[in-house]
Structure 1
Amino acid sequence: MSQMSHTSFAGFTHAAQQAQHWVKELAKDVGWSEPSACRLLRSVLQTMRDWLSPAEMADLSAQLPVLVRGIYFEGWNPSAPAPERTKRDFIVSVRNSFGYDEEIDFDVAISAVFKLLDRHISHGEIAQVRNSMKKSLRNLWPVD
């Protein structure tokens, strides 16, 4: 086996482990199964992606683990109209993407994803993302 293919495989394995670590951590934080936590992560990241300016969206994506970045960009339509920017619209978008479930408090679930990002993304980038959101939505972010 050539060195190049071995390095590529090792990188792929590491990427899978990183993504799995994020999902496991989120599942533990919200007390859900890993498949549900993965769905939540996808729903929140994709809603954030559509909420942020193109520059902020790209800056945040650069700090995501490679497979999580794939989830972030999955189904992205850069020509789609920007959604409304209220906290309620954000929550409705996450809920619609996740699948409505009356048992879930989406404020708590979204906040758990924001806390996960807060632990893994640089402080400067998180501050920029948080500050680009309306104050009502920023209330779901953990405070330093």
Structure 2
Amino acid sequence: MNTTISGFTQAADQAQEWVNELAEDLGWSERRAHRLLRSVLHALRDWLPEAEMADLAAQLPALVRGIYFEGWKPLETPVRDRRKEQFVARIQHDMASDPLDEPDWAIAAVFGLLDRHLDQGEIAQVRTSMKKALRQLWPTH
């Protein structure tokens, strides 16, 4: 990563582009899209096996990677019971002040954003490591 001021500005612009793109995909405010992106990244981080979690992190832009790791408690992860219902419930809990009417659709939008921006080989590995019901929220080509 470029550690100059211009590199930091570029990283901030890239993170903002991701949030803007997600907000546009969902027809939401940037603030709400950012909250959803953060929530889904945190849940995904905790649902993935450690090696896959780290591989995914390496693919994320610098500031998005910061969001991904924010508040991470390695001794409490990964989540052992990785069912879709618990994943969705976690997102709903995080969004409790602004509940999701269609959580599967919103989560799928974040997965779609990742799908468009990350290496397809890595995406395939992430999808493979998920339980089938949760994997079905991820777009396929």
Asked if 1:139 is matched to 2:130, the reply is no
Distance 1:103 1:92, change over 3 A: closer
Asked if 1:37 is matched to 2:33, the reply is yes
Counterpart in 1 of 2:18?
Answer: 22
Counterpart in 2 of 1:49?
Answer: 45
Counterpart in 2 of 1:106?
Answer: 103
- Superposition RMSD on alpha carbons, in Å? 1.5
Query: Which residue identity is paired with 2:47?
Result: W
Asked if 1:94 is matched to 2:126, the reply is no
Deviation, 1:104, is: 2.3
Q: TM-score, normalised by structure 1?
A: 0.92
Deviation, 1:98, is: 2.4
Distance 1:27 1:143, change over 3 A: same
Q: TM-score, normalised by structure 2?
A: 0.94
SS of the aligned residue for 1:104 comes to: coil
Corresponding pairs, count = 139
Equivalent-residue separation in structure 2 for 1:44 and 1:91 (angstroms): 9
Query: Which one of the candidate residues 8, 12, 15 is aligned to 1:12?
Result: 8
Q: Which has the larger radius of gyration?
A: 1
CA contact (8 A) 1:50 1:83 kept: no
Deviation, 1:94, is: 1.1
CA contact (8 A) 2:92 2:100 kept: no
Name segments (4+ residues, structure 1) moved above 6 Å. Answer: none
CA contact (8 A) 1:27 1:34 kept: yes
SS of the aligned residue for 1:79 comes to: helix
